[in-house]
Amino acid sequence: MTLVGAAITLFLVMDPLGNIPIFLTLLESMEPRRRIAVIAREMIIALVILTGFLFFGSYILAGLQISEPALSIGGGVILFLIALRMIFPSQEANTAREAQSDTEPGQEPLLVPLAVPLVAGPSAMAMVILFSTQFPDHLLRWFASLLIAWTASSAILLSAEALRKYLGRRVIKAIERLMGMILTTLSVEMLLDGIRAFLA
């Protein structure tokens, strides 16, 4: 996979557009400046976590004795499920309410649920591990892809209020569904790669 392809995949998995309503719901009681500071802090935490999984994920797999074909197939299944959620976001409101219930009123979220699992979720962790184990000689390329995806996601989430105001919920949902369609094809390709590797 190329640098651009990996960056697009990670960006779709992070799903910043889908996270806009949840972020705004969790941070609605804060002042705009504090809200931006919290989002920036949580995004940095998410980057640190994903970077750790990128560079040390192979050791985790070795300890758990998980093969690369199994990881590829599992990653494809996870991506497919995420794509379905993006195309048919029927549980979006429930997800926002569940995320909000994890944070006590008047207390700003730390690590959970903004950094983990909304940005650095299991799917994003699986993707960076998959990249690092399939092509361990290109770690710098995958790190650059992670930085590109993270930067784009951060820009969207930091301007979440403005995007929701000017684009509207319907446009944001339409864009997210289009991203879900793209992610569906990527997930199928990843699943087929894992099956081919297993049969070989």
Terminal-to-terminal C-alpha distance of the chain: 19
Sign of dihedral through CA atoms 20, 21, 25, 29? positive
Q: What is the pLDDT of residue 103?
A: 53
Question: d(Cα 54, Cα 44) in Å, to the nearest integer?
Answer: 15
Question: d(Cα 141, Cα 37) in Å, to the nearest integer?
Answer: 29
Query: 99 versus 51: which is more confidently predicted?
Result: 51
Average pLDDT over residues 139-154: 97
Express each pLDDT in 54-81 by its tens digit: 999 888 888 888 887 887 888 788 878 8
Average pLDDT over residues 107-113: 84
The structure tokens listed for 20 are 């806009």
Q: What is the pLDDT of residue 57?
A: 85
CA nearest to 68, candidates 184, 187, 196: 196
Bridge partners (DSSP) listed for residue 35: none
Q: Provide the 8-state DSSP code for 111.
A: S
Question: Side chain identity at 170, as an amino acid letter?
Answer: R
Q: What is the pLDDT of residue 91?
A: 52
> Is residue 151 very low, low, confident or very high in pLDDT (cuts 50, 70, 90)?
very high
Q: Any residues with CB less than 8 A from the CB of 139 and at least 6 apart, and which? A: 54, 55, 132
> Is residue 149 very low, low, confident or very high in pLDDT (cuts 50, 70, 90)?
very high
Q: How many domains, the chain?
A: 1
Q: Which domain holds residue 8?
A: 3-199
Q: What is the pLDDT of residue 1?
A: 80
Q: What is the pLDDT of residue 100?
A: 47
CA nearest to 127, candidates 11, 2, 4: 11
Q: What is the pLDDT of residue 38?
A: 96
Whole-number mean pLDDT of the chain? 86
pLDDT surpassing 80 at residue 97: no
Q: Provide the 8-state DSSP code for 117.
A: I
User: Left, alpha or beta for 199 (phi > 0: left; psi -120 to 50: alpha)?
Assistant: alpha
Please state whether the predicted TM-score (pTM) of the whole model is above 0.85. Answer: no
